Amino acid sequence: MMTNYVFKLPKNRIYEFLNSLIAEYTVYAPVEGETSRFERITDACEVQFLPNRTDRSLKSIFFPPEEEFFKWKKEKDGYVVTDSLKPSPKKLIFGVRGCDVRALDILDRYMMGEFSDPYYKERRKNTVIIGMTCDYPRSSCFCTAFGGMIPHHYDLWFTDIGAYYLVEVGSDTGMKLIDSQFQKATEQDIKRKNQRIEKVELEIEKQTKINLCETKHCSQKIKTSVEHPMWKELAEICLACGKCNFICPTCHCFDVIDTTNLDGSEGARMRRWDSCHLYEYAKTSAENFRKERHARVRYRVFDKFVFPVMRYSTYACTGCGRCTDICPAGIDIREILREMIA
Amino acid sequence: MISIGIFSLSCCEGCSVQFLNLEGKLLEVLKYYNIENFRLAKELNSLPVDIAFVEGTPTTAEEVKKLLKIRRDSNVLVALGTCAATGGVPGLVNTMSKREAMKVYDSNPPYMPVDPKPIDYYVPVEHKLYGCPFSKDELMELITAVIMNKSFKNRESSVCVECALRENACLLDKGELCMGPVTRAGCRALCPSNGAPCRGCRGPYEDANYKAHIRTLMDMGITREEIIEAYSMFSYEPLKEVIAWLKEQ
Ligand code: SF4
Ligand code: SF4
Ligand code: SF4
Ligand code: SF4
Ligand code: SF4
């Protein structure tokens, strides 16, 4: 690791730099449509320099909402199965925010840890991450509860310091991307960057007001709140639409579906995102063990702040605030946490 | 060969047309199914059949008798579309007195109607295909399940789920009255995916949280009357009690 290597790039060189990346990688970057999201770009001018995170996370690049596993067909000598897994190109994602880099780390644990998902792994491998510091937070952001805006792993990290981007190198791959357009950063530049980050993080801190630092202790507190009256209150207003799960960059549940032609001689197996808020989610052949909505509302919070701590010693939340923004019932995850931790 | 019939009670016959809309797939279906009875598409029709698909809902005593006969002469009865499954649009007439409803006729009304109900009010129904009209994909699912002797089940989640899976921007955020949160999934969120709010044509689903939906809509500034209208359009029969509660708010 060459974490000590710090450079700067004149802002007017960013397009040249991006186009040089496009020549070598399949590049994804923030694009603003009806919702802002990461999209494949083929020219630097398509990139939008947004002040903070996109509406949608990186998740669907690696783990799309619907995905075919394989097809089968009955031939003379039996069934022929064709895997739908295709080799994935070298990817580079530009403009990722700290919360989303952290979310990928968490998603990796679920999808490439003790259980390895070949479809996810194929897309995820060799992905280069170029991150960027937010200019100011969204009203729903609370990443400071999880360590702030700058994650541990990245290849390059950009921070706007006026006429330049300050560029920190986080890996060998990142170092290889540094070309002659980059200049050595000065003490002054680094100080500027630190001030910038401090200022924004202070702003986030002001709207967050949750201290989750003591992971074990906090998760224990939430764990013992099984009977808290709040779960039933939330169940009254929750529509069980699952949108908070689908939008969450770390939610990874899916359902597996087989479709066939009329006699079953041809068909396909696919997966589709699932959500623990849905009535059908915990329905088994024996019984539905989370029939009550309050149990489902609670389960989701536990699966962010209790179970992952037991399994991986980490929360499965990054404070991105997307679930708060998308909830039609106005349920704010921060309010739940404040109630639990207070 | 499995013999089937497609029967019409009071409705717009849109579901019969939707059956023909299977087009190429219909030819596939005909390899396994024999259409014995389909007034819209053929001249000679007979009973009994293995599977009866019934669209619409009885609004006359005659039609009630017709439905009972179809039930007697079939092994499996499928409520085809929302009118048959929940009472659907015909159920709207139950929002007013019969005398008032009959005013649409200039002269004497042709008959005194019976209250439109879902067809399972009169006879047991094995399967329901929701939607106005029903979804072709779901019909194919059912047809395949019958051939392969598998079970068929309706979705027990909302249109919002399918809408979110298509990563649409939510129309509630634009201030539109969308029925997605309380409407049964299965159409792949057809309307919101094309920019129009869901009207609830597939009717409600088991886990729907009406009060939460109503609260959300009212917080958006949508009036009680607008919500009553939206709830009544396709689902007056199943949502009568919710609508009565809403009127008292
Ligand atoms: S739970 Fe909410 S705030 Fe946390 S990572 Fe998921 S979407 Fe973001
Ligand atoms: S169980 Fe719920 S909270 Fe956990 S990953 Fe699945 S959908 Fe997300
Ligand atoms: S987005 Fe809100 S209403 Fe929908 S399931 Fe999540 S908490 Fe419930
Ligand atoms: S547009 Fe309608 S169906 Fe789609 S998520 Fe919003 S409320 Fe649900
Ligand atoms: S989105 Fe709503 S109105 Fe449109 S087809 Fe689906 S259920 Fe019917």
What does the pLDDT look like over A287-332, one tens digit per residue?
999 999 999 999 999 999 999 999 999 999 999 999 999 999 999 9
Answer whether residue A231 is part of any domain. Answer: yes
Sign for the CA dihedral angle at A111, A113, A117, A118 comes to: positive
Does the structure's ipTM exceed the value 0.90? yes
**Model confidence at A259: pLDDT above 90:** yes
- Give the residue, by CA position, lying nearest to ligand 2 atom 8: A251
Q: Give the mean pLDDT of B76-90.
A: 97
Split at pLDDT 50, 70, 90, the class of A209 is confident
Least confident of A160-169, A178-187, A258-267, B111-120: B111-120
- A9 vs chain B: nearest CA distance in angstroms? 35
Considering only the beta carbons, identify the residue of B165, B181, B206 that sits closest to A239. Answer: B181
Pocket test for ligand 2, best of A245, A252, A297, A307 (most atoms within 8 A of CB): A245
CA of A268 to the centre of ligand 3 (A): 31
Per-residue pLDDT of B164-175, as tens digits, reads 999 999 999 999
Q: Which two tokens stand for residue A102?
A: 């952290």
> Total domain count for chain A?
1
* pLDDT at residue A181, as a whole number: 94
* pLDDT at residue A285, as a whole number: 87
Q: Which domains, and CATH codes, for chain B?
A: 2-147 (3.40.50.700), 159-247 (no CATH)
More confident residue, A207 or B52: B52
- Chain A positions in Cβ-Cβ contact with residue B147 (cut-off 8 Å): 262-263
- Chain B positions in Cβ-Cβ contact with residue A60 (cut-off 8 Å): 167
**β partners of residue B189:** none
Please provide the average confidence, as pLDDT, over all residues in chain A: 94
Q: d(Cα A275, Cα A246) in Å, to the nearest integer?
A: 7
* pLDDT at residue A208, as a whole number: 85
* pLDDT at residue A160, as a whole number: 97
Give the range of the structural domain holding residue A292, as residue numbers without chain letter.
Answer: 6-70+81-341
Q: Which residues of A touch B (CB under 8 A)?
A: 34-35, 37, 56, 60, 65-66, 236-243, 246-247, 260-264, 272-273, 275, 278-280, 283, 293, 326, 328-330
Q: Is the CB of A103 under 6 A from ligand 2?
A: no
Split at pLDDT 50, 70, 90, the class of B104 is confident
Please provide the average confidence, as pLDDT, over all residues in chain B: 95
The answer to pTM > 0.90 is: yes
* pLDDT at residue A214, as a whole number: 79
Alpha helix segments (H runs only) across A113-225: 118-124, 172-176, 187-208, 215-223
Answer whether residue A230 is part of any domain. Answer: yes
Answer whether residue A173 is part of any domain. Answer: yes
* pLDDT at residue A4, as a whole number: 62
Q: Is the CB of B239 under 6 A from ligand 4?
A: no
Which of ligand 5's atoms lies nearest the C-alpha of B180?
A: 2
Q: Is the CB of A318 under 6 A from ligand 1?
A: yes
Answer whether residue A157 is part of any domain. Answer: yes
Q: Report which of A270, A265, A269 is spatially closest to residue A78, judged by C-alpha positions.
A: A265
- Counts for chain B of helices (H) and strands (E), in that order: 9, 5
Answer whether residue A75 is part of any domain. Answer: no
Answer whether residue A1 is part of any domain. Answer: no
Nearest CA in chain B to A273: B165
Q: Give the mean pLDDT of A14-32.
A: 97
Per-residue pLDDT of B127-185, as tens digits, reads 999 999 999 999 999 999 999 999 999 999 999 999 999 999 999 999 999 999 999 99
- Secondary structure of residue A44 in the 3-state scheme: helix
Percent residues over pLDDT 70 in chain B? 100
**Model confidence at A1: pLDDT above 60:** no
Least confident of A330-339, B91-100, B163-172, B235-244: B91-100
- Secondary structure of residue A100 in the 3-state scheme: helix
Task: Return the C-alpha torsion angle A200, A206, A209, A210, nearest 10.
Answer: 0
Pocket test for ligand 1, best of A138, A323, A327 (most atoms within 8 A of CB): A323
Q: Give the mean pLDDT of A261-282.
A: 95
CA separation (Å) from A246 to A59, A63, B136?
9, 11, 26
**Model confidence at A211: pLDDT above 90:** no
Look up residue A312 and give its amino acid.
Y
Q: Is the CB of A52 under 6 A from ligand 1?
A: no
**β partners of residue B79:** B54, B128
Regarding beta strands A266-273 and A66-75, do their DSSP bridges make them parallel or antiparallel, or are they unpaired?
antiparallel
